[in-house]
Chain A
Amino acid sequence: MDSPLTDILNLITLLSRWIHIVCTTLLVGGTLFYEMVVPIAIDDLKHEVQLAVFARARWVFRWIVWLSAGLLLLTGLVASRSHWTNYTGEAYALRVLPPATQPADLTVPTAAQRSGWWWAAHSSCGALTIIIALFLTFGNRPPDRPVQWMRLNLVLLMIVIFLGSVTGHVRLAEIDRAKAIVKAIDAHR
Chain B
Amino acid sequence: MLGILIVLSRWIHVISAALAIGGVFFLRVVLPISLRALSPEIQSDVIANVRRVFKIVVHASITLLLLSGIFNTIQNWEAYKLNRAVMHGLWGMHLLLALIVFAISLITLAGKTPRPSGKRLMAINLGLLMIVVALASTLKYARDREVGKDARSRENIRHLIDTAVVPPLPEGR
Smallest CB gap from A158: residue in B: B15
- Which range contains the number of B residues in contact with the other chain? 35 or more
Q: Interface digits, A29-54 against B, CB 8 Å rule (1 contact, 0 not)?
A: 11111101110111111000100111
B169 at the interface (CB under 8 A from A): yes
In angstroms, Cα B22 to Cα A27, docked, is 7
| CB-based contact B167/A98 at 8 Å | yes
On chain B, the residues within 8 Å of A32 by CB distance are: 19, 22-23, 57
How does the 8 Å CB contact mask read for A153-173 relative to B, with 1 for contact and 0 for none?
A: 000001001101110110111
Main secondary structure of the interface of B (DSSP, over half): helix
**Are B31 and A22 interface neighbours, CB within 8 A?**
no
Is A131 close to B, CB under 8 A? Answer: no
Chain A residue numbers with a CB within 8 Å of B134 are 18
Q: Which residues of A contact B30 (CB under 8 A)?
A: 30, 33-34, 57, 60-61, 64
Q: Which of B7, B26, B134 has the most CB of A within 10 A?
A: B26
A165-B25 in contact given A38-B50, A61-B30, A172-B147 (Cβ < 8 Å): no
**DSSP majority for the A interface?**
helix
Q: Is the CB of A165 within 8 A of B53?
A: no
CA separation between A175 and B143, bound complex, in Å? 12
Tell me the nearest residue of chain B to A36, going by C-beta. B53
Contact B151 A189 (CB under 8 A): no
Q: Does A21 lie within 8 Å of B164, measured CB to CB?
A: no
29 A-B contact pairs sorted by A residue (CB < 8 Å): A14-B137, A14-B138, A14-B141, A18-B133, A21-B133, A28-B19, A29-B19, A29-B23, A30-B30, A34-B30, A37-B23, A38-B34, A41-B50, A53-B46, A56-B35, A57-B33, A60-B30, A91-B154, A92-B151, A92-B152, A92-B157, A93-B157, A96-B154, A96-B158, A162-B7, A169-B6, A169-B10, A188-B164, A189-B160
